[in-house]
Structure 1
Amino acid sequence: MVTSDMKFVVIFGFLTAVYLVDSKFQAPTVQVYSHLPAKFGEPNMLICHVSQFHPPDITIQLFKNGEELTKANETDLSFGKNWHFYLTKHAEFMPMRDDKYFCRVTHASSPPRNIDWEANM
């Protein structure tokens, strides 16, 4: 027996597939920042916010001195009315004077990009 919920899922899936086939790639906008004003030696949160991209297949990685931060958390993938997606990844960190932090974003619209975190201290 086919329910109305099943019909909705099938129709939604079909419309999404048609939209994705007709869509063009949109490169992501990337912002890398800390939750609090940065102070060397004090705990903080490193945040990489990626928005306005399409299609939704994307990889976000956070790095400290070239090593990936493995305890990073990622939000659920979300989208706006225009079907452009956004996603945020974050990790606790303690900035020190010589540390280099960056976010690597891999998306089909362009080669992988590294965006540095600027401490502004």
Structure 2
Amino acid sequence: MKTFLLSVLFCVLGTLMAKDSPPKVQVYSRNPGDFKKANTLICHVSNFHPPDITIELLKNGREIPNANQTDLAFEENWHFHLTKTVAFTPQSGEEFTCKVTHMGKPMSYVWEPDM
């Protein structure tokens, strides 16, 4: 019981000591962005605090179904990171974005194919 209470106290103190930090967002594909070739869209969000965040992967402004997200993880400094991925086959003229909402503030980041 003592160990549990110390763990909770450590967690609370660490959270109180961490500063609010906006996320760093990277949007990329697993393979080069060739049109008409199956690929994986990746949105890696890191270095943010607090962990109040949502990530959406969008195709032409609509959420792409069947995306997978990692579990929320944190670093020693109480900043968090997440990664969301989805299979996709880009076509010319389509726009793929990662929409990140942190602390109620949405920001969109566009995937740039390696053409």
TM-score when normalising by structure 1: 0.85
Mapping of residues 1-121 of structure 1, within 5 Å:
3-19=1-17, 23-108=18-103, 111-121=105-115
Percentage of identical aligned residues: 48
Contact persistence 2:43–2:85 (CA under 8 A): yes
Amino acid at match of 2:4: M
The CA RMSD measured in Å over matched residues stands at: 1.7
Amino acid at match of 2:8: V
Amino acid at match of 1:73: N
Runs of 4+ residues deviating >4 angstroms = none
How far apart are 1:120 and its partner, in Å?
Answer: 2.1
Distance 2:85 2:42 in 1: 4
Task: Give ranges in structure 2 of 5+ residues lacking alignment.
Answer: none
Summarize the Cα distance change of 1:17–1:98 in structure 2 as closer, same or farther, 3 Å threshold: closer
How far apart are 1:26 and its partner, in Å?
Answer: 0.7
Task: Give ranges in structure 1 of 5+ residues lacking alignment.
Answer: none
Summarize the Cα distance change of 1:17–1:53 in structure 2 as closer, same or farther, 3 Å threshold: closer
Summarize the Cα distance change of 1:92–1:52 in structure 2 as closer, same or farther, 3 Å threshold: same
TM-score when normalising by structure 2: 0.89
Q: Deviations over 1:3-58 (max 9, x none)?
A: 23432343234424533xxx432111111000011211111000001111111111
